[in-house]
Amino acid sequence: MRLTKEQLRKIAKQEVDKLMNENISRRELCKNAALAGTAAWIGAGCELEYDIGHLSDQNVENMQLPECVQNCYYNDYDNPRAWPKELDQFTQQFEGEKFIDVAVTEDASTFGQHSFAGMRALIVGFHNVPMESPSLEEVLHVDDAYAETYWNNENVLLTVEVCFLIKDNMIYFNAYQPGGPYDPEIQTPDYGNKMPDFTIQGDAYFQRSDLKQCLDAYKAYLFGPIRPEQQEAP
């Protein structure tokens, strides 16, 4: 008897939640230590751990969670009062990340942000984000019910593109932050309760070979045999 898709997803969500929640604090510590310099890097004990990847553990069949899988965290996602931020300083945290794309555009609508047509923006694209990633809820306020609308046996990894508007070389937490470049009438002191604007898509996995390889590896982890008689995804 095979497990149903819903049972498999429940198991995967429990495993990925556990692995990612255990590793994210350590990973962010090592990332910040790396940016701070060699002394902080070594002091945090990161010289090996961060260099070899980020998330690595095993499912019930001892299959490794692929190292290409990641969350969509960024510095001060949970501290709106730390914004606005200087553009170049903020983007330093993504340098050297193979599966994070950073682009400055003069027209945010070219990245699907049609409310900000003709506006300058920083787009940070996080590839290989699992449907089960806790960062979807923590950073973007995407709950399970919303995530379910993207779930199928092909679309198990997502690209999340987060949009930050730019004004005078400073980036803003979201369109509601006072002083930002968007409509002053919607700006509010409670801007921290609003999520940054973002889009979710999976088309890139059929256009880039490296993303397709990660998708295949994660599907093998996600739908791998949980009992000997279970050999394929439902």
Q: Which residue has the higher pLDDT, 24 or 96?
A: 96
Answer whether 76's CB lies under 8 Å from 188's CB. no
Confidence of residue 58 (pLDDT cuts 50, 70, 90): very low
* Residue 34 confidence (pLDDT): 41
Counts for the chain of helices (H) and strands (E), in that order: 6, 6
pLDDT at residue 136 is higher than 90 = no
pLDDT digits (tens, 9 = 90+) for 33-49: 444 443 333 333 343 33
- Please tell me the predicted confidence (pLDDT) of residue 24: 44
pLDDT, one tens digit per residue, over 112-135 is: 899 999 999 999 999 998 877 888
Q: Please say if the pLDDT value at position 19 is more than 70.
A: no
**What does the mean pLDDT of the chain come to?**
74
Alpha helices in the chain (DSSP H): 5-36, 38-43, 87-91, 135-140, 144-147, 209-223
